[in-house]
Amino acid sequence: MASTTTKRKHDTSYHDRRLARRLDEDPEFREEFERSRREIEAIDEIVHALNGLREAQGMSKAELARKVEKDPASIRRLLTARVNPELRTVIAMANALDAEVRIVPSPGAKRALSRKQAVAA
């Protein structure tokens, strides 16, 4: 006898309401939540750029994995799922794709640096 299973759609409304309430009521939680969201978006942007370089060079994910001496499954996962890669892996991938990883100050940081330099002068 074959058993059948029905897939249930998870109701996330309770968790969504709870999250919305915490974001409204707890400024520290909201600040940490937003910081985490920005970090995830930045990581996604970097990984997306690396994947675009890989595609532009006609390199497979498996080839990239071999170049950076990583398991192909981990590189596939890194390029297709939301993960938090190690910085050394990101740098190794960039090097394998003949690219660089750079930190560029945001406009707000540039203004703060300019003010500090003006005060020091």
- In the block, which residue shows the tokens 């919305």? 20
Among 91, 57, 73, 49, residue whose Cα is nearest residue 65: 73
73 within 8 A of 55, measured Cβ to Cβ: no
At residue 121, does pLDDT exceed 70? Answer: no
Whether the model pTM is above 0.85 = no
* CA separation, residue 18 to residues 8, 14, 46, 70 (Å): 22, 6, 31, 40
Residue pLDDT, tens place only, 23-79: 999 999 999 999 999 988 989 999 999 999 999 999 999 999 999 999 999 999 999
**What residues contact residue 62 under an 8 Å CB cut-off, 6+ apart?**
72, 75
Residue pLDDT, tens place only, 89-113: 999 999 999 999 988 888 877 676 6
Query: Where do the structural domains in the chain lie, given as residue ranges?
Result: 23-120
Task: Give the pLDDT confidence score for residue 84 in this predicted structure.
Answer: 86
Locate 107 and state its tokens: 């406009």
What CATH superfamily is the domain 23-120? lambda repressor-like DNA-binding domains (1.10.260.40)
Task: Give the pLDDT confidence score for residue 103 in this predicted structure.
Answer: 85
